[in-house]
């Protein structure tokens, strides 16, 4: 599909970090394959923003913080259901760095998320309580950016939550599937696709 990119469009790149790529602590299958796609896409946009998972040691979303629990268990937290993850993207550790081949030079902003010890943060816009904002929406509105294209990792968690929140906030939102890969945990990819469709997120394979 051929999509024309305009000067008030944004490429929002979600969590293309070492721990989500090959040999990472929470590696997404084929995650490295998004890097050349995203680098090509970056050249098409005047505006690029990155998100970066940025957890303190012992974060409450880590399975190791809950004795008797295992990675990928789901528990109840004060803000709702929380999947427990392997320790990943720890602040200042190599796993939290962006993939070394990812072109980051043209990014005008990096949104770090998940840094509050007691709450996880999938979305680029809100913590997992669905109320605490990151400030990204205000930044985009002040800059006059109206349409958001998303790519990154993983389709069914951080990309999905970011896309649905973008729509909830009134932005036109387009998922570029060639630039994403999924964890697909217990049907999470199908659920994410259904949720995005219900929210009005457009899906394209690539920009052509």
**Angle 167-168-169 from CA coordinates, rounded to 5°:** 85
Q: 3-24 b/e with 16+ CB inside 10 Å = b?
A: eebeeebbbbbbbbbbbbbeeb
Catalytic, out of 21, 89, 158, 180:
158
Kindly name the residue from 9, 15, 120, 165 that is annotated as catalytic. Answer: 15
Q: CA-to-CA distance for 112 and 32, rounded, in angstroms?
A: 21
158 annotated active-site: yes
Q: Is 15 a catalytic residue?
A: yes
> How far, in Å, CA of 53 to CA of 31, rounded?
15
32 is catalytic: no
Q: List strands edge to edge, sheet with 147-153.
A: 109-113, 48-53, 9-14, 147-153, 172-181, 202-204
The catalytic position among 113, 120, 165, 180 is: 113
- Whole-angstrom CA distances from 196 to 93, 117, 133 are 32, 28, 20
The two structure tokens encoding residue 33: 């394959």
Catalytic residues: 15, 113, 158
């Amino acid at each position: 599909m051929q999509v024309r990119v305009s000067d008030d469009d944004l490429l929002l790149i979600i969590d293309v970090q070492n721990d989500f790529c090959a040999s990472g602590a929470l590696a997404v299958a084929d995650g490295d394959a998004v890097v050349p796609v995203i680098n090509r896409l970056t050249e098409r946009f005047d505006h690029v923003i990155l998100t970066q998972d940025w957890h303190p040691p012992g974060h409450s979303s880590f399975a190791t913080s809950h004795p008797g629990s295992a990675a990928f268990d789901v528990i109840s937290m004060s803000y709702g259901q929380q999947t427990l993850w392997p320790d990943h993207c720890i602040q200042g550790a190599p796993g939290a760095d962006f993939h070394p081949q990812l072109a980051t030079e043209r990014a005008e902003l990096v949104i770090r998320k998940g840094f509050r010890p007691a709450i996880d943060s999938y979305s680029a816009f809100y913590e997992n309580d669905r109320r605490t904002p990151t400030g990204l929406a205000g930044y985009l509105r002040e800059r006059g950016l109206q349409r958001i294209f998303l790519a990154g990792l993983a389709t069914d968690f951080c990309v999905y939550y970011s896309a649905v929140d973008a729509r909830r906030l009134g932005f036109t939102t387009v998922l570029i599937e060639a630039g994403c890969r999924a964890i697909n945990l217990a049907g999470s990819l199908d659920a994410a696709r259904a949720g995005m469709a219900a929210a009005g997120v457009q899906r394209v394979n690539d920009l052509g």
